[in-house]
Copies of this chain bind each other. A is one copy, B any other.
Amino acid sequence: MNTESTHNARAGVREVCERARVARGWLATSTSQKRNDILAAVARGLIDRTEEILIENGKDCQAGREAGMAEGLLDRLALSPKRVEDLAQSVIDLISLPDPVGEIVSGSTMPTGLRVRRVRVPLGVVGMIYEARPNVTVDAACLCIKSGNAAIVRGGSAALNSNRILVDIIRDAIASEGGSADLVASVDQWGREGATELMRARGLIDALVPRGGAGLIRSVVDNSIVPVIETGVGNCHIYVDASADLEQATPIVMNAKTQRVGVCNAVETLLIDYTIADTFLPVVAKQLIEAGVTLHADETARQILEGFEQVVEATESDWETEYLSYDLAVRIVSGVDEAVEHIRTYSSGHTEAVLANDTRIVNTFVAGVDSAAVAINASTRFTDGGQLGLGAELGISTQKLHARGPMGLTELTTWTWIIEGDGHIRA
């Protein structure tokens, strides 16, 4: 990184942020109706310019293939007419969600007659740093617009062309509704330095949301001096207790592991009570293996699964790994306490499931794990803004400050205390 380019990136990113702050002044006084009109214009723009989008996305995909990009990543990068249509539909779906801005969170009249209320307001300027997934560009920008925020995006460099056209379409839509296009901007042109400067833009960025793999998130946390909301790393567990309904357990494990393997709410480690391991494990293992899953099993589990293919030895690193692939770690435990202990040691704090019909077991599990979501007799896959009734989400927060779990529109706001008196002074 040479000094001149750093200087350019700094000046460039700061200018983009300053422009966003100014543009937000317009958004702050805009009506909910106007923000919905912008979203409708974005959706129209995506449909009308599908061909352009596919051409630009095609360049990225070709470059990705030539560079030997993994199949899973290429799949996340690639757009199709259907995917663009889905993207436009997700923007339209946002329109009908309630506007969190202006909600009175709490309010009261104090004994002295002072009227106090806490009113929801947008965070301000939200930064997003993510990987080569063009749909995140649209999702993040539109969630921000809906909730009255400006969005500064920095997508993975492998999606440079796709993101450029998508940001253009969004900016055009804002301008077509009389807004300032600077509300949504990209810092992709400054590459990695752009991302670094976003992390240093103290006073200009109100919240920075990294979304992606563990490495990306760690790098943002380590280097940021602006407030960060960590999202997404999901080393999720399912514990199958002796009291579980085993008829339900197999479909839940299959759903959690194989419905989509590349997502953060997929299960990565299966913990089974030793008293049911002999009966349950061979059944679930057979189905998992048929679906193409490799089991990384501890010694006890390997003994039970002797003769099964696709069963390998689990090492310490298996307990720590978010595979995001057709792999599952398996460990036999001595009961709920050992399961909780394992989860507290290795979990990333995303989602843990307990399958049990004994309420004492369920309560011990819920009280013991320390994660954003706990599923009881349900799949880990439910930790998702849409599934939990938030309508849409920016990501899944795995930290405890501000928002925990899915971040919907409300989680993109803060509040202002309005203190109204008639000449009140403090006694």
| Chain A contacts to B: CB under 8 angstroms | 25, 28-29, 108, 110, 114, 116, 118, 123-124, 202, 206-207, 221-222, 225, 227-230, 245, 247-248, 251-252, 254-256, 259, 366-368, 370-379, 381-383, 387-389, 399-402, 404-406, 414-426
Q: Are A378 and B420 in contact (CB under 8 A)?
A: yes
With A and B bound together, what is the CA distance between A244 and B424 in angstroms?
13
Q: How many copies does the complex hold?
A: 2
Q: Could you tell me the distance in whole angstroms from the C-beta of A1 to the nearest C-beta in chain B?
A: 20
Q: Which residues of B contact A255 (CB under 8 A)?
A: 425-426
Chain B CB count within 10 A is highest, among A206, A251, A255, A425, for A425
With A and B bound together, what is the CA distance between A48 and B207 in angstroms?
46
Q: Are B376 and A418 in contact (CB under 8 A)?
A: yes
| Closest residue of B by beta carbon distance from A413 | B400
A/B interface sample: 16 pairs, CB < 8 A: A114-B378, A114-B382, A114-B387, A247-B423, A255-B425, A259-B425, A366-B418, A372-B416, A374-B417, A377-B424, A378-B425, A382-B421, A387-B426, A401-B401, A401-B402, A405-B415
**Known contacts A388-B116, A401-B229; A373/B419 CB under 8 A:** yes
Q: Are A378 and B415 in contact (CB under 8 A)?
A: no
With A and B bound together, what is the CA distance between A45 and B110 in angstroms?
33
Interface of A is mostly: mixed
With A and B bound together, what is the CA distance between A373 and B426 in angstroms?
15
Q: Which residues of B contact A387 (CB under 8 A)?
A: 110, 114, 426
Q: Which residues of B contact A375 (CB under 8 A)?
A: 419-421
Q: Are A425 and B252 in contact (CB under 8 A)?
A: yes
Using A254-B425, A377-B423 as known contacts, list a sample of 18 further A-B pairs with CB atoms less than 8 Å apart, ordered by residue number in A: A28-B367, A124-B400, A206-B399, A248-B422, A248-B423, A252-B424, A259-B425, A259-B426, A376-B420, A377-B424, A378-B420, A378-B421, A378-B424, A379-B421, A379-B424, A382-B424, A404-B416, A404-B417
